Structure 1
Amino acid sequence: MSTLLEVSGVSVTFDGFRAINNLSFQIGPAEMRAIIGPNGAGKTTFMDIVTGKTRPDEGRVLWGEKSQSLTRMSEAKIAQAGIGRKFQRPTVFEDQSVFDNLAMALRKPRGPLAVLWYRPARADAERVHELAAEIGLSDQLSRKSGELSHGQKQWLEIGMLLAQEPRLLLVDEPAAGMTHEEREHTTALLVEAAKTRAVVVVEHDMEFVRRLNCKVTVLHEGAVLAEGSLDHVTANQQVIDVYLGR
């Protein structure tokens, strides 16, 4: 299988604390991966490195078929290259409708003139309706985003990321604060997305991870402790000692 993202021998230190320690990780172009591990394991720092927010002290982060070095690219260029990130708290434009949030997120030229003269074309409206159906918000398009439930806002933000047509989606704790039904819908949404792109989910909820039914990477002290199916990693004594036994 070809590799979309390859992280190789990456380390980063903050004020003497080694947050990432010789970490290596790779994911294919249409693959779901869950990342688990105790607080302070390096999960957020890993996503910060991939998106260019944090620069590693050493190691390589290679992207795409041409193995471009992400460590040489700005955050904006990395996003344009096809890496989308969803943070834990949903960030949507609360005063704008669901339709407008999705329309604003569509992958379009972003120069000053293009933005100034932008008028939604029929194709844009059709794409917004497609996205709304995909995330389960077709009946909410005219509603102000601020009126949505927590779960619906999470779906809208995932929809806004999908609108940018990323090849890799990094999602931080999507199940937090959701009802059982919302979590089931979120699982289906992410599994569907992973059919056509790489999806990395950082999550603490083991039941949610089990439903994703994917390969799991366990981080501890900034390095990979174990990797494999959820059953495989949860049977690993070291994983039990540092994470599951808590």
Structure 2
Amino acid sequence: MSTLLEVSGVSKSFDGFKAINNLSFQIGEPEMRAVIGPNGAGKTTFMDIVTGKTKPDEGTVLFGEKSQSLLKLTESQIAQAGIGRKFQRPTVFEDQSVSDNLMMALKKDRSPWAVLRFRPRREDHASVAKLADEIGLTDQLPRKAGELSHGQKQWLEIGMLLAQDPRLLLVDEPAAGMTPAEREHTTDILVEAAKTRAVVVVEHDMEFVRRLNCKVTVLHEGSVLAEGTLDHVTANEKVIEVYLGR
């Protein structure tokens, strides 16, 4: 498995507080990775740096076979390079149907003229149907997105990100506010997605992380504290001390 994303020696301070401290992180393609850690461990800042929302004070962030530096790119250029991010709160077009939300998200020419002239073709409808099947919303396609449950909106947003065909998907606390059945379905969607791309899941829910059945990276004070299977990291004395509580 070749390295897709390589973060090396990255640090970032805000008003003297070191949110990220000499962080190094690697993920291959395809791979699933869970990132856990206490509040203030640097999980969100890490995602902000990878997606270009925040520029680090030092270090390198390289992506793809050609080791392209993400630090020279804008947020939209990083998205076009193949990195998708799902925030905690679902952002969907509430007044549009599920079908229209997925159709709008398909990877297309985004120039104003192309958008105005866009007419869905047969393959576009086929892509939407395939995405809806992947996220379990086939029977919801005609419904307005605003009518969906919280969990369904989360799946729709994951579907909209998958429509962009990203090589790396960053997902922030997908299980928050979900029923046990919804959490299980979310696990299935992410595990399936990670068969063809890299997926990084930032999560607090240990049961959810266990079901992902993947390598876990523990962050603490902006650095990697431990890495390995969930059983390996939760048996680590330092992790027990800072995260799980004695």
Whole-angstrom CA distance in 2 between matches of 1:116 and 1:2: 39
Superposed CA deviations along residues 131-156 of structure 1, whole A, max 9, x for unmatched, are 00000000000000000000000000
Q: How many residues align?
A: 246
Whole-angstrom CA distance in 2 between matches of 1:150 and 1:200: 21
Whole-angstrom CA distance in 2 between matches of 1:128 and 1:70: 30
| Residue matched to 1:77 | 77
Whole-angstrom CA distance in 2 between matches of 1:84 and 1:2: 19
Please, which runs of 5 or more residues in structure 2 have no aligned partner? none
Whole-angstrom CA distance in 2 between matches of 1:190 and 1:112: 32
Q: CA deviation at 1:112?
A: 1.0
| Residue matched to 1:127 | 127
RMSD, aligned α-carbons: 0.6
Superposed CA deviations along residues 25-45 of structure 1, whole A, max 9, x for unmatched, are 000010000000000000000
Whole-angstrom CA distance in 2 between matches of 1:211 and 1:93: 30
Q: CA deviation at 1:55?
A: 0.1
| Residue matched to 1:212 | 212
Q: CA deviation at 1:169?
A: 0.2
| Residue matched to 1:52 | 52
| Residue matched to 1:35 | 35
Q: CA deviation at 1:211?
A: 0.2
Q: CA deviation at 1:128?
A: 0.2
Listed as ranges, the matches of 1:89-238 within 5 Å are 89-238=89-238
Q: CA deviation at 1:238?
A: 0.5
Secondary structure, aligned partner of 1:107: coil
**Residue identity in the other structure for 1:206:** M
Whole-angstrom CA distance in 1 between matches of 2:173 and 2:152: 15
Secondary structure, aligned partner of 2:3: coil
**Structure 1 residue runs of 4 or more that deviate by more than 2 Å after TM superposition:** none
TM-score between the two structures when normalised by the length of structure 2: 0.99
Q: CA deviation at 1:99?
A: 0.2
Please, which runs of 5 or more residues in structure 1 have no aligned partner? none
Whole-angstrom CA distance in 1 between matches of 2:68 and 2:56: 16
- Quick one: percent identity of the two aligned structures? 82
Whole-angstrom CA distance in 2 between matches of 1:89 and 1:110: 25
| Residue matched to 2:245 | 245
Whole-angstrom CA distance in 2 between matches of 1:81 and 1:238: 37
Q: CA deviation at 1:241?
A: 0.5
Whole-angstrom CA distance in 2 between matches of 1:180 and 1:49: 32
Secondary structure, aligned partner of 1:4: strand
**Residue identity in the other structure for 1:87:** F
Superposed CA deviations along residues 175-207 of structure 1, whole A, max 9, x for unmatched, are 000001000000000000000000000000000
**Residue identity in the other structure for 2:52:** G
1:22 aligns with 2:22: yes
Superposed CA deviations along residues 46-80 of structure 1, whole A, max 9, x for unmatched, are 00000000000000000000000000000000000
